[in-house]
Each structure stands twice: as structure tokens, then as C-alpha cells.
Amino acid sequence: MSFKYRALRDIRPYNGCIPQLTKPLLRALIQASVHYLESEKCSPEILDLALNKLYARHEIPKNFCQVFSMVLTTMQSFLRCPKGGVMDHEFREFLKDLKFPDEFIDDLCNVLFNYRATLSRSLAETKIDRPKIIGMQWRINISLATCVAQVSTPTIVLYFNLNNGEHRTLELPLTMFDRLRYNVALLVNGLQSLQNRTALKSF
């Protein structure tokens, strides 16, 4: 599977976030993504730091976490490819296909190509130590306003129990929850296909 096909599949769902990017926001999200890649754990303080830097002078998009996910996924897709597997002009063309403005493309390319060795090493070292999910619960969250006609859009709230004793809560809009279910189904289908391959049955 080519880099472009795999990366487009992972990033295209976030295309609607690109128009919300500003140069200060992108740079703050790149810094947050670098911290994420270099950390052994994904700390909420990373995003809080990025938000605090922006709040004073810039407007923060409502779906800030989705915009962050888009930037982080873009960087991870590049770093997972072997060194030299994606050339500078190829990556720029890929970002243009996603409708990234030229000035944003320059910022992403400068970070990824100049610091690739360090970021790739951090990604390889930290992904092994991520906490694992050992239990999950979910519920539908519906908020009622004073007027019945003003019922807000329902969301899905997920509660995760991790193997390190910590707990996490994640609230998703229905559209993103459906996307999550679809991607999980694809993953399970892919694993089942691998299990049926003759070459793997001997292991």
C-alpha cells in the first residue's frame, strides 16, 4: 500500500478542519504534536499548553481536538514511512491534494524533513509504552435546553479503563463515532484476512 493511499485514507476524514487552520494555530499544533511524539504518555497538559498560548490573541476553533488529530495524523503518516520513501516534492504534492495552503505546507515540511531522525526515533520508542485499554463503557449524552426545540446534538461518551490504573473519558459527535466504528470494523476484517493466510498459520 503506497504512502499516499494510506495517508489519504487516514487524513481525508479531517479535511473539513483545514479551512479552520491559521498559521499561529498550526504552529502551536505542530509543537503539541512534537511533544506528543516525544512523550511516553499523551498528557492532557500538552493540549492545554497549546490552548493557553493561543487564547490571548487568537480565536480557537470549537473542534480544536479534531484539528489537532489531523495535524498529528499527518505527521505520524509521514514518519511511519522508511527514510527516503517519501521525497520532499511528493509530500508537498500530497498536502496540496488535501488543500493545505502553501505557507502551511512549508511549516510541516521544515519540521518533518529537518527533524525526521529525532521524531522517528521518538515515535518508535514511545509507542511501545502506551497504556492499554482493559475495559470500556459508553453512553449517549443528550443535553436538553429550556426549549424542547433546542435539544443539542447527541454525543457518545466513552469511558476507558487503562492497565496502569488510570481512567479516560472521551466525548465524540455521532459522525466521528460512526467513523470510529467503521475503522475498527476495517481493522478487524484486516486481522481476519491475515489469520487466514497460509504463510502465517505456521507461526
Which of 126, 146, 168 terminates a domain? The answer is 126
- Exposed, middle or buried, 109 (CB in 10 Å: 0-12/13-18/19+)? middle
- Contact between 142 and 152 under an 8 Å Cβ cutoff? The reply is yes
The region, left, alpha or beta by phi > 0 then psi within -120 to 50, assigned to residue 172 is beta
Q: What is the predicted pLDDT for the residue at 151?
A: 56
Examine the pLDDT at 202 and tell me if it is beyond 90.
Answer: no
Q: What is the CA radius of gyration of the chain?
A: 19
Which of 101, 126, 151 terminates a domain? The answer is 126
Which of 68, 96, 126 terminates a domain? The answer is 126
Same domain, 189 and 140: yes
Same domain, 98 and 137: no
Examine the pLDDT at 62 and tell me if it is beyond 90.
Answer: no
- Specify the length of the chain in residues: 203
- Contact between 76 and 123 under an 8 Å Cβ cutoff? The reply is yes
Same domain, 161 and 62: no
Same domain, 104 and 156: no
Q: What is the predicted pLDDT for the residue at 108?
A: 92
pLDDT grade for 203, boundaries at 50, 70 and 90: very low
Domain ranges, residue 141: 131-201
Examine the pLDDT at 194 and tell me if it is beyond 80.
Answer: no
> Per the structure block, which three cell numbers stand in for 60?
480557537
DSSP 152: P
Same domain, 81 and 94: yes
Q: What is the predicted pLDDT for the residue at 106?
A: 92
- Contact between 156 and 141 under an 8 Å Cβ cutoff? The reply is yes
Same domain, 29 and 116: yes
Q: What is the pLDDT of residues 74-122, one digit of tens each?
A: 998 888 888 888 899 999 998 998 888 888 999 999 999 998 888 888 7
Q: What is the pLDDT of residues 124-180, one digit of tens each?
A: 766 556 678 899 888 888 766 555 555 567 888 989 999 888 888 988 888 888 888
Same domain, 114 and 138: no
Based on the structure, what is the number of domains in the chain? 2
Same domain, 19 and 118: yes
Q: What is the pLDDT of residues 2-40, one digit of tens each?
A: 778 888 888 888 888 888 888 888 888 888 888 888 775
Pairing of strands 167-173, 155-162: antiparallel
> Per the structure block, which three cell numbers stand in for 190?
484486516
CA distances from 141 to 57, 152, 168 (A): 32, 10, 16
